[in-house]
Amino acid sequence: MPTDVLVLGAGMVGACTALQLARRGHSVALVDRQAPGRETSYGNAGIIQREAVEPYAFPREWLAMFDVALKRGIDVNYHLGALPAVAPRLARYWHASAPRRYASIARDYSRLIEHCLVEHDALIAESGACDLVRKEGYRFAFRTQAAMDEATARAADLQQRYGVRHAVLDGDALAKAEPGLRARLPGALHWLDPWSVSDPGALVERYVQRFIDLGGHVSQGNADTLREDAGGWRVQTKAGPLHARHAVIALGPWAAELTNALGYSLPLFVKRGYHRHYIGGPGLRLPMLDAERGLVIAPMAAGMRITTGAEFAPIGAPSTPVQLAKAEAAARELIDLPVPVESAPWLGNRPCTVDMKPVMGPAPKHPGLWFNFGHSHQGFTLGPVSGRLLAEMIEGSRPLVDPAPYSPTRF
């Protein structure tokens, strides 16, 4: 059977794009250089973030920016040598974060987020992945009452505007809900809608297996071999060349290299992040953001996973897990954190755009070529809805969401 679509990249976004196409009867080949779900999609906090209706804006307060410049906090680190290349993109990111511009961006972003649970739910059920998912929410914990009061006011505003639900836990309620906490905190916001996943990479693998069950093919190959070929596209794999009418670039943080080679200059940049697992000790029941320190503690099948914020460095640059060391110290103030499972922390890359919105739609210069990348911190959350939207665009059916705000032509 001839292949209709090549999907390059087998992370959450690529896997879901392939699966959504296969569910609609298309013949699809999913191509990656390694096994599905082993890169960015493996290393996140494992939360399907229905509450994340507004993307991460660049800090506007001068004190916060000064702390970033001096690397005082846990949430941001950078390699000095990376700044000349990334600084122009960060300047545009800062510009897009101005209140009036950001308000429009958040509205576009929220239209994708609002579908994340429904679209994941359908794929979870079909893939037999219910055992990996917990539908009990996600907590933001606070170390000071002032920070909690400010966040509570913002949560009330988000609930009114977007319908995302939350509950406010005082110190007693939080201690009862999380008896593993060793520190007495003022309280927490409990976002009620998000779902947590005990093994993010395994969920991608289940989606890929469902794709295979529907007749999809998985091949090992390098996306940089993609070439136009006889009115379609060709890519080299270990099993030989694959041809299709359409090709989808869903390479996450590696999309820039291929799109640049094809003659595009999209304003993309990469944030790196780290995690490590710990076993033993009571831990936590639900994932928790230490809101004032910028780290997440998430219970996983492999142990308590500590994740860090953003590091600005080139892909492939040496690991510098200074943020993780700070995060470990902060986490030990909250819970017992025994010896880590891994001898060295995991390091991964997040694909970002200067306006915080993903790039989804037809490539302007190449018929049959499609983009689906740039989801920043929310590729794991947005994979199914992004995959559906891209599948609908390819087949020319009515899209679930107006795709215009995410078009590559906006740049």
Task: Read off the pLDDT of residues 182-216 as tens digits, 9 standing for 90 and up.
Answer: 999 999 999 999 999 999 999 999 999 999 999 99
Q: What HEC string does 167-210 produce?
A: EEEEHHHHHHHCCCCCCCCCEEEEECCCEEECCHHHHHHHHHHH
What pLDDT shows up at residue 2?
75
Contact 39, 254 (CB under 8 A): no
What pLDDT shows up at residue 75?
86
Q: What are the structure tokens assigned to 303, written together?
A: 């142990």
Beta-carbon contacts of residue 324 (< 8 Å; ≥ 6 apart): 274, 275, 276, 306, 308, 345
Closest among 317, 327, 385, 386 to 347, alpha carbons compared:
317
pLDDT digits (tens, 9 = 90+) for 323-375: 999 999 999 999 999 889 999 999 999 999 999 999 999 999 999 999 999 99
Taking the mean position of all CA atoms in its chain, how far away is CA 388? 17
| Distance (Å, whole) CA 388 – CA 259 | 22
pTM, full prediction: 0.96
What pLDDT shows up at residue 25?
97
Domains and CATH numbers, the chain: 1-56+100-127+196-266+354-411 (3.50.50.60)
Contact 374, 40 (CB under 8 A): no
Taking the CB of residue 227, how many other CB atoms lie within 10 A of it?
12
Contact 86, 267 (CB under 8 A): no
Mean pLDDT per 10-residue section of the chain, whose length is 411 residues: 90 98 98 90 93 92 79 88 93 96 97 98 98 98 98 97 98 98 97 98 97 97 94 95 97 97 97 94 95 95 94 94 94 93 94 98 97 97 98 97 98 94
Backbone angles phi, psi at 331, to 5 degrees: -65, -35
What pLDDT shows up at residue 53?
97
